[in-house]
């Protein structure tokens, strides 16, 4: 097995809360400079910029997983990763069907730009993406699994938009694949949240909205044969030597 560093929670200019420097070439260049091997693009309730990042990453040494950060009806954020771009777009169709028809106000919330691999704007999303869809957190986790995807409860340590803050203890029977802790936690703080994971792998991601947010210090080390969605799934399950390692130093998994 080989050691790789992964960041499974990165936004682009499609997320209205992201800065305009979060373009495709810029994200890939930053990851390459930081030595990050695999990333997931997870804009709010949309996967429309994942193709641009995948194209921008060709021959870069950075593997891109298509994903979305889905907001549930309870206002819980769930990172959903899909095996390929086509599946991500079909899953996105399910999300869009449940997204309230509230128009974005760019001056208030920010722009929502769909781009190509060269940052040429191809579309601007009119519907506000940062809102809860008409589906519960449990339903989103189940739906992601039905598409062959992986689901990660985002930033469970935060006082808003987290499963723990909204609903309390994570049920043992919730079939979520992993939990994410905020990258700015110290190891001592992260350890205090370890029990909330319920034995699930703990992921550290940047949740990057700015280029400087992307850093190898905000990644998760994993043991894989190669950086890929399938290998990541095996690592999350701890199969055949693949593993998700404790992101804050000494391996405690």
Map residue 137 onto helix, strand or coil.
helix
Total-model pTM: 0.95
- Where do the domains of the chain lie? 2-244
Residue 218 near residue 7, CB atoms below 8 Å: yes
Q: What is the model's pLDDT at position 253? A: 46
Q: How many angstroms separate the CA atoms of 177 and 164, rounded?
A: 16
**For residue 198, what are the CA distances in angstroms to 20, 77, 171, 173?**
37, 18, 8, 10
Q: How many angstroms separate the CA atoms of 110 and 108, rounded?
A: 6
pLDDT, tens digit, 9 for 90 and up, residues 87-105: 999 999 999 999 999 999 9
Q: Hey, what CATH class is 2-244 in?
A: alpha beta
Report residue 61's pLDDT band, with 50, 70 and 90 as the boundaries. Answer: very high
Q: Is 207 left (phi over 0), alpha (psi -120 to 50) or beta?
A: left
pLDDT, tens digit, 9 for 90 and up, residues 184-197: 999 999 999 999 99
Higher pLDDT, 252 or 163: 163
């Amino acid at each position: 097995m080989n050691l790789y560093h992964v960041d499974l929670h990165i936004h682009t200019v499609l997320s209205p809360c992201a800065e305009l420097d979060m373009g495709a070439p810029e994200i890939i260049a930053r990851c390459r400079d930081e030595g990050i091997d695999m990333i997931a693009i997870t804009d709010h309730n949309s996967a429309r910029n994942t193709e641009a990042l995948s194209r921008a990453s060709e021959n870069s040494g950075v593997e891109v997983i298509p994903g979305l950060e889905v907001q549930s009806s309870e206002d819980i954020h769930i990172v959903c990763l899909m095996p390929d771009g086509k599946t991500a777009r079909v899953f996105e169709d399910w999300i869009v069907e449940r997204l309230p028809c509230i128009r974005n106000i760019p001056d208030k919330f920010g722009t929502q730009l769909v781009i190509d691999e060269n940052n040429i704007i191809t579309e601007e999303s009119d519907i506000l993406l940062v809102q809860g869809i008409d589906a519960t957190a449990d339903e989103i986790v189940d739906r992601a699994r039905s598409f062959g995807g992986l689901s990660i409860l985002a930033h469970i340590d935060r006082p808003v938009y987290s499963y723990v803050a909204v609903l309390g203890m994570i049920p043992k029977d919730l079939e979520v694949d992993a939990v994410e802790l905020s990258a700015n936690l110290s190891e001592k703080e992260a350890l205090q949240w370890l029990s909330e994971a319920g034995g699930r792998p703990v992921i550290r991601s940047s949740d990057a909205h700015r280029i400087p947010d992307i850093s190898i210090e905000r990644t998760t080390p994993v043991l894989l044969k190669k950086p890929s969605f399938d290998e990541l799934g095996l690592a999350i399950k701890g199969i055949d030597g693949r593993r998700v390692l404790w992101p804050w130093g000494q391996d405690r998994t």
